[in-house]
Structure 1
Amino acid sequence: MTIEAYRKIWPQRLSAASIESEEEMARLIAIELKDELTHPRVRKSKEQKLDLAVERIHAAPLEPEEQQELIETYKKIAAQLD
């Protein structure tokens, strides 16, 4: 269920559409939270990226259970990045 919810918040991302496992999704979330795809001088902190992700999740067409599960996944991965 979490993979489908993740795909819903990134409908235009090819990488999200091709996810086949929870591990792949976790890797993409970690890249997002570390802001690795942004130039180093303009990267945001992990906390800022987490806040933006939570906002995006709340704005997405997801069921409340899906939102909560996805937010918990993001927070868990963010905690592991420390």
Structure 2
Amino acid sequence: SRAASIIRRHRLAERLFTDSLAMDSESEIEQQACKFEHILSPGATDKICSFLGHPRTCPHGAPIPPGPCCGDVRFDVATPELTRTRND
């Protein structure tokens, strides 16, 4: 859905700013994430998701809706580690 797509872009942007760019100003992260959620293409969003290792939650613990790039990645409920699966 459109809403899930916007939420996905926003939360991935928050992850990018927090984890990769080491931004620590909550207001700056929120402001920039709000801008990014409107300009990221689906392809760029998937590239960011893959770059970040397909995170399941934003820095606040809210779930990040999975995208098409997450199709070959599954999360083992027993362990938080990512496991790649083959789609033959």
Shared fold per TM-score greater than 0.5: no
TM-score (normalizing by structure 1): 0.40
TM-score (normalizing by structure 2): 0.38
Structure ranking higher on relative contact order (CA contacts 8 Å, 6+ apart): 1
In terms of fraction of residues, the more helix-rich structure is 1
Q: Larger radius of gyration, structure 1 or 2? A: 2
In terms of fraction of residues, the more strand-rich structure is 2
